[in-house]
Structure formats: C-alpha cells, structure tokens
Amino acid sequence: MLGVPILYVVGALAVILAVVAWRMKPATGVQLADEPAAEDEPAAGDPAGGVPLPYVSGGSVSQAPLPDPNDGPSADDNDKWLRRSAEWLAGQGHATMDAALIALQKYLAGEQLSMEQGRLRDLATDHFGYPPDLPQSGGTGNGDAPDDPDVPTPPVPPTPPVVVPAEPKKYIAPAFHTVSGPSDDSYTDMALLFYGESGVQYGVDLIQSYNVKHGHQGPFPPGTRFWIPKYAPPRYVIATASMRTASQIISKNPPLNSVAMLQELNDGMTFPVKVGQKVRVA
C-alpha cells in the first residue's frame, strides 16, 4: 500500500525536473534564407569604427578636442578665402557681413582701403594668411603683403632743398636810406617804408624838412641818399607879436635851422604870419 504513493511522487518530480531543464535550455533561432545575418556594429571607441578613442587623464575620461575648421592653410582660391574670411570677421563681431565683404573685395581688387577696411584686412590675413593670389596694389600702408623680391624697388627721388625765404628788410628810423628804384624813389614811398600808412600824412613833410637839398618832390634817381628822422607827432606853436617872422620862429624852436626847413613843414605858408596863426615847427 505504501509503494504506490512513492512511485507517484518520484514520477511527479521527474516531470518537474524535465520541464525545468527544457526551459533552461538556450533557444536556437532559425535564420531565413532571404534575410542576411546582421553584421556586428563597431563599439564606441573601437578603432575599427573610425571614432577617436577617449583619452584618460588623471583618472577621468574626456573626449579628444575636434580640430577647428577655420584653422590651417588658406583656401585654394581667392573666392573661398574671401568667403571664409568675411564669415569669420562677421562671426567674431569685427564687422557686419556686408562691411567685411566690401573691405576684402577691395583688398583683393588692389584698391585703396580706408583705415577701418585695412584693419579688417589685417585681421583676416593674421587669421587665415594671405590669399592665394596676392593683390598687386592698394592698401593703407600697414599690413600689406610682403614685397616681391624679384620686382626692383623704384628709386627714391632726391629731396628738393628747402628754400628759406629771405627775411624782409626792416626800415627803422632814424637812418640813412638810399633809393633803389621805383618802389622808394619818392617822399611818399619812403614815409610808407619807415612810418607805415598811419605816418604818411605828417611823415612826408617831416622827411622833406630834413632833405631840402634834394628838392620838394621826386621821383629821385637810384643811389640818392636821404636822412630819415625818427617819427614824432607834429608839434605846433601860435604866432605872437614877438614871434611872427621865419627867423623869430626858427630861433625859438630847434631843431629848425633854415627858412626852407620851416617852409617844408608848412606847405604854402608865407612869413611873417599873423598873430594867432598856428605854425608847425617839428
């Protein structure tokens, strides 16, 4: 009676173990003929996949820096150099895109640049180098492309001598003056030279009074020598009963020394004069 239950128990355990063993068995897939087997993808960091490996520094993992596409040699033609340079200048905030293009186009065309355009050119050539085809002329004088050693330097013209104008002659009285030509051959001309325009009115009679031997008026030939007295405002006296004649007036008013001198100071006056007449004596 006890053997039958034991057999059932053993049989049940065998079934359970078989089920467990079947479930633990790895599955084997069936590959269809028209579906190619998937190729293994290269893992991140696998050299075969073309992805740069991370490098380890100080126990931490960091990604290797990517190269700057703007660095490196100049573009292979001027159009590419122009485009890259203008985009870089605008991107860096040095100028607007239009201003950068205008400045670099003028540079490549060999035209004269303003100071601001020259600054943009210098920034571009410092960052990208010179364009493949260098312009032949233009620039602002700073930062131009180096000279071609095969082109001879034009000779520098000699500097003309500096001509210092002669200092005008100064006419200061009292002094002797010798007539040189039409510019100083009259009493009016000499009064202008020594006394200026303001002194002509009374200066002419003053010079005449000291040069009575040359006559009342010119023109005088070159070489004629005159004494030019120091200018002073005219001085007058009032004729009195005891000072009416020319000799009386001369004796009391030096430096008068002749009737001719007194008459040159008083054109058209006749002596003796009336009492109360104003007479110039200097």
DSSP 221-251: -TT-EEEEPPP----EEE-BTTB-SHHHHHH
What confidence category does residue 52 fall into, taking pLDDT thresholds of 50, 70 and 90? very low
Please report the pLDDT score of residue 53 as a whole number. Answer: 44
d(CA 259, CA 245): 10
- State the greatest distance between any 2 C-alpha atoms of the chain, in Å, as a whole number: 200
**Both tokens assigned to 280:** 């110039």
pTM of structure = 0.42
Please report the pLDDT score of residue 229 as a whole number. Answer: 94
Q: pLDDT digit string (tens) for 219-253?
A: 999 999 999 999 989 999 999 999 999 999 999 99
What confidence category does residue 175 fall into, taking pLDDT thresholds of 50, 70 and 90? very high
Span 180-205, average pLDDT: 91
As a residue count, the chain comes to: 282
What confidence category does residue 31 fall into, taking pLDDT thresholds of 50, 70 and 90? very low
How much of the chain is helix, strand and coil, in % rounded to 5?
35, 10, 55
For residues 219 and 210, the answer to whether their CB atoms sit within 8 Å is no
The identity of residue 55, as a single letter, is: Y
- Residue 139 neighbours by CB distance under 10 Å: 19
Give the residue with greater pLDDT, 134 vs 81: 81
Please report the pLDDT score of residue 62 as a whole number. Answer: 42
**Both tokens assigned to 81:** 């150099």
Please report the pLDDT score of residue 65 as a whole number. Answer: 43
Residue 56 clears pLDDT 70, i.e. is over it: no
Question: How far from each other are the two terminal CA atoms of the chain, in whole angstroms?
Answer: 183
d(CA 70, CA 149): 30
Calculate what percentage of the chain has a pLDDT beyond 70: 68
Span 60-82, average pLDDT: 58
Which residue from 8, 85, 181, 245 is spatially nearest to 256, judged by alpha carbons?
A: 245
Span 91-114, average pLDDT: 91
Q: What are phi and psi of 69, to 5 degrees?
A: -65, -20
d(CA 257, CA 282): 11
Span 27-46, average pLDDT: 46
Q: pLDDT digit string (tens) for 113-157?
A: 999 999 999 999 999 988 988 876 655 544 444 445 555 667 878
Give the residue with greater pLDDT, 128 vs 62: 128
Residue 97 clears pLDDT 50, i.e. is over it: yes
**Both tokens assigned to 11:** 């049989």
Span 99-111, average pLDDT: 90
Average pLDDT, the chain: 78
Residue 2 clears pLDDT 70, i.e. is over it: no
